[in-house]
Structure 1
């Protein structure tokens, strides 16, 4: 249980990084559905208690990874700097 809790605490920084990146992208892609969904998943993950089952966190990260990958494949542009490359690298 303690190792699970520490893993969750350690993952919090990447969640914050993705949240900040998403808010930045929303400035140029206002109300983009995929970005809104990413923020909703993050909000949900952040609402979980550390005492909760690790499965909920893993499932949340899986959904988050899927949304980020979808953005990467569909909307991201290296020239416009709208990628999540760094964040996805950390998650994998």
Structure 2
């Protein structure tokens, strides 16, 4: 569980609580469509990474670039999120 630890190192009761809380919260999130960016997926030891596309442009990968690149990426993601969520928290 990212940000928490390996599942086999967390008490099962905690894992069950986390899963139940996630299910409850996600049940309130309506289904949505996604569009993948134009670049190819990247195979990482922990994930398959797909480029992100926000309606009108690919979101550049800021890894290995300066702090400004991360800020620009965050602004694009926040704008795309606002388009999909509207005024919902």
Q: Is TM (by shorter chain) over 0.5?
A: no
Name the structure with the higher strand share.
Answer: 2
TM-score (norm 1): 0.33
Structure with more helix by fraction:
1
TM-score (normalizing by structure 2): 0.33
Larger RCO: Structure 1 or Structure 2 (Cα < 8 Å, ≥ 6 residues apart)?
Answer: 1
Structure of higher CA gyration radius: 2
